[in-house]
Structure 1
C-alpha cells in the first residue's frame, strides 16, 4: 500500500479571515504546498484523509478557546482550495485525530507504508496527531511548510 496523507484542520475557520481562530496570512502560505503534496501523493496511489475540527455548541474545549468550527457551519468546512482533492473527511473533537474517531480502524485496514501529516496549528492538533501516530508505531513524516 502507498502512504496515507493526514490533512489536519485545513478549515475555513482557521484559514479565512473573520473567524475567531483565524491563523493569519502566514498560515495561508502553506496552502500551495499542501496542494502540491496532495497532487504528488494521489498520483502515487496514496489515500487522503481530511481531519476536521468539529464541535458541538457545548464542547468543553470552549472553556479554553472561543467557540469555533461548530458542526454544520461553514467554519468547519475544508477550505475551497483543497475541496477538489479526493479525500475522506473525518470529524474530530479533540487535538489528536486518533481520539474517538474511526481513523485508527481505517488505517489498520489500509496498512499504509507511512503517514504523511500536514496542516495548520502544528503546535496543537498536528503535534498531538503525530505523537499518537508514533505511539502506534506508524512511520511518520511531517513535511516542512505544509
Structure 2
C-alpha cells in the first residue's frame, strides 16, 4: 500500500429524502466514529476528501451544501463533521464517488492508492464506491462502525460482498491510525 486518503461519503446531508427516517438512527451512531476518524487522519497527515451528493442542485458547491445541511433539522449530525481548511471536497451526482467526478484524477495527482471509505449509505453509495475503487485497482478499507445503513441486513451483505468479491479490508475504526 502507498498513500492513504480518508473518503467521507455523503455525510453533509439534510436528511430530507426517502428512507431518511430509517437512516437517521444508524447515522447517529456513526457520527462520533467518523469524527474520531477525521481527527486521527488529520493528526496522521492523511488527506481527507469529502465526496458528497449534490441533492440535484447543479449549481451547488460545498459551501452551499454545508450551509443548507446546517440550516436543517439535523444540523447536529452535520456540525461535528464540518470540513476543515485542509479538506478537499468533491460534489457527486450519483451513488459512486467516482461516477462523473474528478476523484480518479485527484487521487492520481496525489499519489493515493488506498482509500478508507466512511459515511453513508453502506448498502448503496459505499458499496458502489468500493466496487468502482476495486476496478481501478485501488486498495480499500471500510471501517464497519463508521458506515451508516438504511437496512441492517443489506448493509451486512454489502460488507461481506466488499470483503469477499472486492478484497476490501473490513475492520473497526480502532484498527486505523494511532489513537
TM normalised by structure 1 equals: 0.79
2:87 paired residue number: 87
SS in 2 for 1:124: helix
Distance in structure 2 (CA, Å) of the matches to 1:104 and 1:130: 13
SS in 2 for 1:140: strand
2:17 paired residue number: 20
How many residue pairs align between the two structures? Answer: 131
> Residue by residue, what CA displacement relative to the aligned partner does 1:49-87 show, whole Å, maximum 9, x if unpaired?
111100436x8xxxxxxxxxx934514999211115441
Distance in structure 2 (CA, Å) of the matches to 1:112 and 1:55: 27
Distance in structure 2 (CA, Å) of the matches to 1:115 and 1:84: 18
Asked which structure has the greater RCO (Cα within 8 Å, sep 6+), the reply is 1
SS in 2 for 1:13: coil
TM normalised by structure 2 equals: 0.65
Backbone CA RMSD of aligned residues: 2.4
Distance in structure 1 (CA, Å) of the matches to 2:5 and 2:47: 5
1:35 paired residue number: 35
Aligned-pair distance for 1:46?
A: 0.7
Q: Is the 8 A contact 1:117 1:126 kept in 2?
A: yes
Aligned-pair distance for 1:113?
A: 4.7
Aligned-pair distance for 1:29?
A: 0.8
Q: Is the 8 A contact 1:2 1:47 kept in 2?
A: no
Q: Which has the higher strand share?
A: 2
> Residue by residue, what CA displacement relative to the aligned partner does 1:37-58 show, whole Å, maximum 9, x if unpaired?
111111111101111100436x
**Residue 140 (1) aligns with residue 103 (2):** no
> Residue by residue, what CA displacement relative to the aligned partner does 1:67-118 show, whole Å, maximum 9, x if unpaired?
xxx9345149992111154411100001111011110000001112511001
Q: Which has the higher helix share?
A: 2
